Amino acid sequence: MGYTIAQKIIKEHLVSGEMTVGSDIGLKIDQTLTQDATGTMAYIEYEAMGIPRVKTEKSVAYIDHNTLQTGFENADDHRFIQSVCKKHGIYFSRPGNGICHQVHLERFGKPGKTLIGSDSHTPTGGGIGMLAIGAGGLDVAVAMGGGAYYITMPKMVRVNLTGKLSPWVSAKDIILAVLRVMSVKGGVGKIVEYGGEGVKTLSVPERATITNMGAELGATTSVFPSDETTRAFLKAQDREEDYRELSADDDAVYDEVIEINLSELEPLAACPHSPDNIKTIKELEGKTVDQVCIGSCTNSSYLDMMRVAHILKGKKVADNVSLAIAPGSKQVFNMLALNGALGDMIAAGARILESACGPCIGMGQSPNSKGVSLRTFNRNFEGRSGTADGQIYLVSPETAAVSALAGVFTDPRCLGAAAEIEMPEKFLINDNMVIDPAPVEEMDSVEILRGPNIKEYPATSPLTDSIEASCSLKVGDNITTDHIMPAGAKILPLRSNIPKISEHCFTVCDKEFPARAKLLGKSIIVGGENYGQGSSREHAALAPLYLGVKAVLVKSFARIHKSNLINAGILPLTFKDAADYDKIKLGDMLALPRVKEEIAAAQDITVVNQTNGETFKAECELSDRTRAIIIAGGLLDYTKENS
């Protein structure tokens, strides 16, 4: 039996465990990336390990999230990260150099390598043939220190692409079509691998759009073959030596196969408030649009921007529309400036933003109240835009641009013949905004620069024999990390200050939760299906940890959030019988009378609702390693004990 692409990379990097679906495996990590919203905490965690210099082939810290500087906090975090990078052997991508996933694809990604990043959209690297996985900051810190990265061996899904996209139908429409089939939880425990003749028709940036938004499937990662198209992209980036051919064996076996005929696709949109709430643009045509935002790590490549500029050239943005455009990297921005495309955008009435995440994480450009905003981004969770009642639709750059001109939802196929835009034979290469780490002989003398907003990792403690705690919050299905720990311009600057940011924990769902949890001292959160979907932000675990949350009891978890809870020493429990969810109310006193004994013995966990007298069982699916982490009180404690 042959291997899939992902299985080949896993096999080459396997340091512990066996490649059996559902088993715990440890992988050697070649590259890491962080961004500034998660990076400060990741580097505080790295410092706590006491390892002087990173042991990966390449680690890069990007400043791309918190670039809006309305106070000292963001600037202080940037300064701290830059000094850590210099001291510990990490490359530093300065603010303005671009969005981490776009820049990493352009300048550092290598086919066949492993990459983990403290951002859930790290699977963008799968567009170039990497095994690229989003992870919590503590997992990234451990990998930088030379430790393995542990995951549950996933199932393999093949998405077989046939045919060729019609004019004005794009890669964004492909991943929206996959989301329509699989849903936001259909990829949990799976790696999605793309194959078929249709792959050859897609450029590397188009492939990266698809793997980027594969994060919304809940998948471990997504990956494309590395082929002659990959070689051409790397050659254009002056990195042809990084090329490696990589494809699935003809007799590779997949757990699931999905067929997508590219020729049959049409322009699509993800409607509020979920990436899998899919409709065709034809169904929405004529609906008034208030705002259009083009960019993000999903759709900010040179190819995307050139198509947008082609549509806007010589035209005028509708009077009722605010159009904002953010090129994904300095490379793209500079090339647009030099070839005249940037001028076409500006002349049409576009507002040009810096090369950063910006509106995608609520950092500026929030729409008007109840405003309809078309965005080329990857997430449209309620409130994520910064406007609580904003109506956010996810669309392709082509749909976004033509709708900005018309002022209403418009099918871009009305434009007729396709724009003839080719990938460059050579990109503009200028890495002067990437700062190298200090030489080894100088690193000991580098001073780490800390601002007053940077606080220590929350206190942890070993698992106690039993737990008695009140239910401090009960929530429903598909709770995202944006519900748990909101983003936005007001809250993101607090990412390095867990005590302060915890004041905003779950306020989207219940404004009283932070005060209630703090008053209780210790508590348990109860939730529904797919709890913790979305971002990799470990703050969605660290803030509850600080507020005294001891366990989260839900119907099912999203992968990264469950891992972050374990790393923080918070018990991730699932109802053995989903009907038991209805037997708990806010304020009920819950007891886990033999929790440590049951965790150690890998048994189901006894839960006693002392308020109503109900007793039931919960599952706590842990490997031997994660069981030891929970008993130790979290990954930092476990690492210190075993170093």
Tens of pLDDT, residues 201-220: 999 999 999 999 999 999 99
Could you say which DSSP state residue 536 is in? -
Task: In whole angstroms, give the CA distance from residue 188 to residue 420.
Answer: 38
Is 154:21 a contact under the CB 8 Å cutoff? yes
Q: Which amino acid is at 519?
A: L
DSSP H helical ranges for 135-284: 137-144, 171-182, 204-213, 228-236, 281-284
Same domain, 227 and 253: yes
Q: Could you report the per-residue pLDDT of 446-468, keeping only the tens digit for each?
A: 999 999 999 989 989 999 999 99
Answer whether residue 519 shows pLDDT above 90.
Answer: yes
440 lies in some domain = no
194 lies in some domain = yes
Same domain, 286 and 234: no
Q: What is the pLDDT of residue 400?
A: 98
The closest of 181, 156, 154, 176 to 165, measured between CA atoms, is 176
Answer whether residue 535 shows pLDDT above 90.
Answer: no
Q: What is the pLDDT of residue 213?
A: 97
Same domain, 249 and 110: yes
Same domain, 179 and 297: no
Count of structural domains within the chain:
3
Q: Could you report the per-residue pLDDT of 16-63, keeping only the tens digit for each?
A: 999 999 999 999 999 999 999 999 999 999 998 889 999 999 999 999
What is the band of 322 on the pLDDT scale with cuts at 50, 70, 90? very high
Mean pLDDT computed over 147-155: 96
Task: In whole angstroms, give the CA distance from residue 580 to residue 349.
Answer: 55
Is 300:330 a contact under the CB 8 Å cutoff? no
Mean of the per-residue pLDDT values of the chain:
96
The residue among 264, 282, 304 that closes a domain is 264
- The CB density around residue 113, as the number of other CB atoms within 10 Å, is 23
> Strand pairing of 149-152 and 549-554?
unpaired
Answer whether residue 145 shows pLDDT above 80.
Answer: yes
Is 590:609 a contact under the CB 8 Å cutoff? yes
Answer whether residue 617 shows pLDDT above 90.
Answer: yes
Q: Could you report the per-residue pLDDT of 384-433, keeping only the tens digit for each?
A: 999 999 999 999 999 999 999 999 999 999 999 988 899 999 999 999 99
Contacts of 595 (CB under 8 A, 6+ apart): 463, 464, 465, 466, 467, 571, 605, 606
Mean pLDDT computed over 330-351: 98
Q: What is the pLDDT of residue 490?
A: 87
What is the band of 492 on the pLDDT scale with cuts at 50, 70, 90? confident
Answer whether residue 639 shows pLDDT above 90.
Answer: no
DSSP conformation letters of 385-441: TS-TT-EEEE--HHHHHHHHHHSB---GGGG-SPP--PPPSS-----TTEEPPPPHH
Same domain, 275 and 330: yes
Same domain, 492 and 390: no
Exposed/middle/buried for residue 639 (C-beta within 10 Å: 0-12, 13-18, 19+): buried
End-to-end CA distance of the chain: 38
Same domain, 250 and 142: yes
Q: Encode 396-425: b = buried (16+ Cβ within 10 Å), e = exposed.
A: bbbbbbbbbbbbbbbbbbebeebeeeebee
- Among 60-64, 360-364, 631-635, the range scoring the smallest mean pLDDT is 360-364
> Does residue 226 or residue 444 have the better pLDDT?
226
Task: In whole angstroms, give the CA distance from residue 52 to residue 42.
Answer: 15
Answer whether residue 643 shows pLDDT above 80.
Answer: no
Q: What is the pLDDT of residue 47?
A: 92
Q: What is the pLDDT of residue 418?
A: 87
Q: What is the pLDDT of residue 640?
A: 80
Exposed/middle/buried for residue 321 (C-beta within 10 Å: 0-12, 13-18, 19+): buried
Q: What is the pLDDT of residue 1?
A: 84
Same domain, 347 and 394: yes
Structural domain boundaries, residue 336: 268-412
The closest of 11, 5, 8, 7 to 195, measured between CA atoms, is 5
Q: What is the pLDDT of residue 642?
A: 80
Which CATH number goes with the domain that contains 329?
A: 3.30.499.10
Q: What is the pLDDT of residue 62?
A: 98
Q: What is the pLDDT of residue 99?
A: 98
Q: What is the pLDDT of residue 487?
A: 86
Q: Could you report the per-residue pLDDT of 236-292, keeping only the tens digit for each?
A: 999 999 999 999 999 999 999 999 999 999 999 999 999 999 999 999 999 999 999
Mean pLDDT computed over 507-536: 96
Mean pLDDT computed over 544-551: 98
Q: Which two tokens stand for residue 370?
A: 């109840």
Q: Which two tokens stand for residue 163?
A: 């045919």
Same domain, 176 and 206: yes
Which CATH number goes with the domain that contains 599?
A: 3.20.19.10
Task: In whole angstroms, give the CA distance from residue 201 to residue 194.
Answer: 12
Q: What is the pLDDT of residue 43?
A: 96
Q: What is the pLDDT of residue 615?
A: 97
480 lies in some domain = yes
Q: What is the pLDDT of residue 366?
A: 94
Q: Encode 455-472: b = buried (16+ Cβ within 10 Å), e = exposed.
A: bebbebeebeeebebbbb
Q: If residue 27 lies in a helix (H) or strand (E), which one and from where to where?
A: strand 24-27
The residue among 214, 235, 264 that closes a domain is 264
Q: What is the pLDDT of residue 489?
A: 85
pTM: 0.94
Q: What is the pLDDT of residue 167?
A: 96
